Amino acid sequence: MEVVSDRTKPRVKDYMTRDVATVSPDETVGEVARRIAESDEHSGFPVCERRRVEGFISARDLLLADDDDPIFKIMATELLVAHPDMKVNDAARVILRSGIQKLPVVDDAGNLVGIISNADVIRSQIERATPEKVGKLMRTLEQIHEIDLTQERRTVPLSELTPTQGRVYADELEGRRYELERGLAEPLVVIDNGGMLLLADGHHRVLAADRLGIDEMDAYVIVIDHEIELGMADTAKKEELEQIDDIDVVDYARHPLVKTTKRLQSDDRAK
């Protein structure tokens, strides 16, 4: 097994899944095939003996094997693994170049401590981009209002958020739902204006989360210790936006930049 380690942040241990389903080398092909067939998430498993990684078994490996064969006879024993301190970007390169979807993560003793997937890598890149967005908004608010602000990472209840955007589009809403179901949605950006939580960025994500029955979400929160007059708060008041249920969902065909073919043809004939 080849182990790659790099102690530069962000690291694999910050994004890996720690609760990993595994199989034993002595389990049979039939037993593991049933586990894969009954699972919506797994197309293969790390093979471990007392948490030490001995190999990996995939659905493809099972195809030509007999149901009674033990897994250790057909598992792949030459596999790439990552170290918890490995740089996420390096893990991304391994996943991309090898064509695998999941990379087992082992400690210095070779014990399985987690697994990092291509979805985890995407999530790490999304979350790294968000602080830049927050920093830009903070600097703008500080310059306009001549105040000093602080930033926190919080879990915020959706029921306490005040929208600052009156409409979202149905097609993008479906995209955000897809991301949430796979753990890929970036954190919200919220302004705590003296206790009033204004949703600055993430209206599609919030509405998609609400439809999935999610009550709270991760957020970058810009904190203003006393309430001040903010333009987005005035927008919310004018549009009578008090809670996320007040946001309208607009079908993509009614998007202001979308026109029907029939209408375009009529406009051309009129010219």
137 close to 32: Cβ distance less than 8 angstroms: no
Distance, in Å, from the CA atom of 267 to the CA atom of 102, rounded to the nearest integer, reads 52
pLDDT of residue 4: 46
Angle at 109 between CA 104 and CA 112, to 5 degrees: 25
Range 147-254: architecture per CATH: Alpha-Beta Complex (3.90)
* pLDDT tens-digit profile, the chain (271 residues): 544 444 446 889 988 999 999 999 999 999 999 999 998 778 889 999 988 999 999 998 999 899 999 999 999 998 889 999 999 989 988 888 888 888 999 999 889 999 998 888 887 877 777 888 899 999 999 999 889 999 999 999 999 999 999 988 887 888 888 888 888 888 999 999 989 999 999 999 999 999 999 999 999 999 998 888 888 888 888 889 999 999 998 875 544 555 545 444 445 445 5
Strands 102-106 and 112-117: antiparallel
Q: Where are the domains of the chain?
A: 2-120, 147-254
CATH classification code of 2-120 = 3.10.580.10
Q: Where are the beta strands (DSSP E) in the chain?
A: 2-4, 44-49, 52-58, 80-82, 102-106, 112-117, 150-157, 161-162, 167-169, 188-193, 196-201, 216-224, 248-250
Distance, in Å, from the CA atom of 217 to the CA atom of 136, rounded to the nearest integer, reads 22
Q: Is 72 helix (H, G, I), strand (E, B) or coil?
A: helix
- H or E element, residue 253: none
Say what the pTM is.
0.60
pLDDT of residue 112: 95
Q: Identify which of 127, 133, 268 has the alpha carbon closest to the alpha carbon of residue 191.
A: 133
Q: Identify which of 50, 18, 186, 243 has the alpha carbon closest to the alpha carbon of residue 115.
A: 18
